[in-house]
Structure 1
């Protein structure tokens, strides 16, 4: 039987391409198995230690913290967990770098007289930013009786996802949007947008679920190049309000709906959608734009009927 070849700490370091100090550090942490000690008390390592040392070097080369490396050495399942966690962390760091780069370009390219204002705006946003303030803004606006599943669906549709490669313009729009929804003056009862229908006189879940269907139809009709003035999207849009009120669609109802829509679309919501639209991905439906297009289509239809 041939005995395993053993190496001194210096020989192991040379085979692995690391320093003796590195080998000693990992040995002292219990990460490298010693085969035996020489008569003089010097460490001796076998092939298993070399394999383990090369694995540690590879993982450290990927910038994994040593505690994470120690987890990996416990088994292959831990490796998958650690890699997934590191990818998430790296994604967050890259997002922060991309946002920071776009923010710096925004400051670099703007007129000197606007830099102080823009610096104040972007300085109020975390890096990488999040959309929690937008979600809170809409939760304050939505009816309290709205089911949680409907609230979740609405938030998914009205809160833009952050662009992966933000432009300076998108950074500015996001910063202004964040300032809008975080403004304490907007949170005062008198400054909030009016409800879509008189409070207590409609079924919120029926309205919002019906509007979601109308917006989906409108998006499809516009993508197909069809006008909204005559079509399923506009009928569904009106029906959502009618059903929520417990009434039926009629020319008179459509005429009265125009006045309700005019009161519900206040300056805050208009400003919100103006800033948020450019943050949605190309081709992604923007509910504010669809709502406006349907309202305009209804106005044109009612005016044509009156004429």
Structure 2
């Protein structure tokens, strides 16, 4: 069966101009001409044209398509290379999306925009160095805090989601906050200064039922709960001054997003209650 350019266009859904273009470039050569000198195409040409259209819709360039239709390369070979190139492009686009999302959310100035972009583009080695510097400054070189340092270390995956990238940018910014570094340093000092490491867990266990029961933090029942913690109220207030900072909890939330962990349960309600119970 013989087809004209118009026949091919109707059968493939392409325009006559597109069919002529592919034919002129040798991708779909005619099998002959009719008596009027018009190009004619056979079934093989129709199949080639369908393949060309499919490959173009998948984003391949004419050079790659020519190699396939001429038998110089298989679709699988070209597909593997194209998929790898697209993966790289997708990562770049995700990075750009995260940067623009972060900039928009923060209402960033020109200088902040530069910082966000720089933080997002850091290599794995550079990210580790940034976090390592932060933890060394905040925790110091104390063997007893090595485990804590590991639990506070973000591990951004090789192919992070937009949410993980955005969380990394915010966490990295937080680590550069001198006030936050000082806060973590205070918490580290208190860790080794007499307050038991599990005090936060004890507070949660003691106060959560009181919150659920609606116990007034100014009531005698609340005072008994505070006494049961075995700490002087002044000492607890001092501890609260360090631990009850929204930046501490925000760091842990961002860390969970980056590392793919379950979202941490907020300690803020229990700390609010304890702060009120120890206020007098």
Indicate the TM-score class for this superposition, using the shorter chain for normalisation: 0.3 to 0.5
- Bigger Rg, which one: 2
What is the TM-score with the length of structure 1 in the denominator?
0.43
What is the TM-score with the length of structure 2 in the denominator?
0.46
